[in-house]
């Protein structure tokens, strides 16, 4: 049986020298929801402090974040704190430079599973990476359908992940409201 070549995501760090799983100084990685944190805890058995950190934004930065990412509307309702993946030596703690993400696909943050696509409430998509941005799949794909195929995102899975993100952000806002009221 013939094996498939490694995915663009698995080849990205080596091919481009840097992937979306690596941060430059002062940069943060993917936005996490409370559901992402719980899913990763269950999958890895690790406490959130191992893989999650806070990024504090100004109120204006939080407002701009939601404006440019409408599916995150309400994420910062109870404060300008963004949960992000932690880095170690400039890369996501789950990145294996030879094989890509060390998390099982179903355990990965929803934002990671969607990257480099930004779904919009009307069903359209923006591509977040291009040019010098670190995304080999964007470089190799001729168009958005080829990109979604290269990422293993069927239209049905893309729609499901978009709805999952919408629901997780709404739940995140509810959970952070509850925690902001706690003593």
pLDDT band at 1 (very low <50, low <70, confident <90, very high): very low
Q: For the ranges 52-56, 84-88, 95-99, 106-110, which has the lowest average pLDDT?
A: 95-99
Residues 77, 15: Cα–Cα separation, whole Å: 39
Q: Residue 100 is part of which domain span?
A: 20-181
Q: What is the dihedral of CA 5, 154, 31, 103, to 10 degrees?
A: -40
Other C-beta atoms closer than 10 Å to the C-beta of 66 total 17
Residue 98 in domain:
yes
The CA–CA distances, whole Å, from 31 to 66, 81, 177 equal 12, 10, 18
Query: 144 lies in a domain?
Result: yes
Cα–Cα distance between 20 and 73 in angstroms, integer? 23
Residue 25's pLDDT is 85
In this prediction, what percent of the chain has a pLDDT beyond 90?
Answer: 52
Residue 172 lies in a domain: yes
How many percent of the chain have pLDDT more than 70?
90
What is the total count of domains within the chain? 1
> Is 119 inside any structural domain?
yes
């Amino acid at each position: 049986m013939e094996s498939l070549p490694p995915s663009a995501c698995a080849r990205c760090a080596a091919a481009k020298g840097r992937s979306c799983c690596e941060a430059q100084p002062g940069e943060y990685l993917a936005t996490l929801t409370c559901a992402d944190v719980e899913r990763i805890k269950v999958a890895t058995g690790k406490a959130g402090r191992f893989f999650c950190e806070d990024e504090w934004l100004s109120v204006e930065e939080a407002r701009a974040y939601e404006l440019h990412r409408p599916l995150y509307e309400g994420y910062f309702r109870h404060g300008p704190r963004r949960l992000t993946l932690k880095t170690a030596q400039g890369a996501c703690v789950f990145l294996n430079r030879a094989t890509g993400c060390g998390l099982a696909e179903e355990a990965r943050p929803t934002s990671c599973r969607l990257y480099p696509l930004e779904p919009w409430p009307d069903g359209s998509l923006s591509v977040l990476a291009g040019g010098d941005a670190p995304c080999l799949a964007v470089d190799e794909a001729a168009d958005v359908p080829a990109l979604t195929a290269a990422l293993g995102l069927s239209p049905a899975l893309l729609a499901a992940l978009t709805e999952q993100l919408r629901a997780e952000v709404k739940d995140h806002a509810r959970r952070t409201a509850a925690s902001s009221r706690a003593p």
